[in-house]
Amino acid sequence: MVAILSFYLNIIETESDRELARDLYYQYRDLIFRISLKYLNNEAGAEDAVSDVFEKICRNVEKFRNLNCSKAKGLIVIYTKHTCLNILKRGRIIAFTELDEEAGEYSDDAESIVICDESYNRILSAVEALDDKYKDVLRLKYFVGFSDSEIAEALDITPENVRVRLHRARVMIKNRIKETDLLG
């Protein structure tokens, strides 16, 4: 009986591991800066946002390993928007209300929806009309492919909050479809 006892006793740090965060930074820093400048309207603040996003990329670099270029960009854009909103909140530049508290106004009877040929376009219109905070959880779930806990980590909210936002987003979309049905 020959059993190979394999154990690695040293640092095996591949080039790709070491350089992924740095590559993402150099590839996207200008994009992050320009998005941040739109939100924050000053260069120093936008540079701070770039640093904050880079820090977030470093903390979550393993999540980027299996993302293609488009999904990585999508995730970074969401990180950037979220970071800018946090900077604005911290600086009290604008007052944000915790929008999670405003829900509950959406009727459950909208759950019964009949899918027809035009449904896709209606859903797309309803998605486009959603508030960014609902769009972001949907994008992280469907576009990036994150789990609820990964979405929670990316947006600094609880997994429960993620589930609430996902539920409300669905209800809002269904309500909007129902409204257009009534109008049509």
Partner 1 sequence: MDDALNERLFDILLETAVCSDYEKELARLPEQAEAPHAFSRRHEQRIGEIYRKYLRNVRSRRLKRNAKRAAVAVLIVISLIFAGFLSVGAVRSAVFRVITEWYEEFTSIFFKSEKGDSKAPNINLEVEGMRQPTFIPNGFILENFIRTPGMISIDYNDESGKILSYTQVILDEDNSIAVDNEHNIISEIEFNGYPAILMEPMDDVGLYSLIWRDELFTYMLVGQVDYETLIEVALSIEIVD
Binding site for partner 1 (CB under 8 A): 1-13, 17-18, 21-22, 25, 29-31, 33-35, 43-44, 47, 50-51, 54-55, 58-59, 61, 70, 73-74, 77, 111-115, 119-120, 123-124, 126-128, 135, 138-139, 141-143, 170, 173-174
Closer CB to partner 1, 98 or 128, in the complex: 128
Assigned token pair, 72: 């990585």
Q: Are 126 and 135 in contact (CB under 8 A)?
A: no
Q: How far is CA 152 from CA 111, 155, 159, 184, in A?
A: 25, 5, 5, 38
Least separation in angstroms between residue 135's CB and partner 1 is 8
Q: How far does Cα 128 stand from its chain's mean position?
A: 15
Query: Nearest-CA neighbor of 132 among 91, 88, 90?
Result: 88
Residue type for 134, please? Y
Least separation in angstroms between residue 21's CB and partner 1 is 6
Closer CB to partner 1, 29 or 163, in the complex: 29
Closer CB to partner 1, 119 or 180, in the complex: 119
Least separation in angstroms between residue 45's CB and partner 1 is 11
Cβ neighbours for 28, distance < 8 A, ≥ 6 positions apart: 73, 76
Assigned token pair, 121: 């376009």
Closer CB to partner 1, 8 or 101, in the complex: 8
Least separation in angstroms between residue 105's CB and partner 1 is 21
Least separation in angstroms between residue 95's CB and partner 1 is 26
Question: Tokens 């390993």 — which residue?
Answer: 65
Coil, helix or strand at residue 100:
helix
Closer CB to partner 1, 136 or 152, in the complex: 136
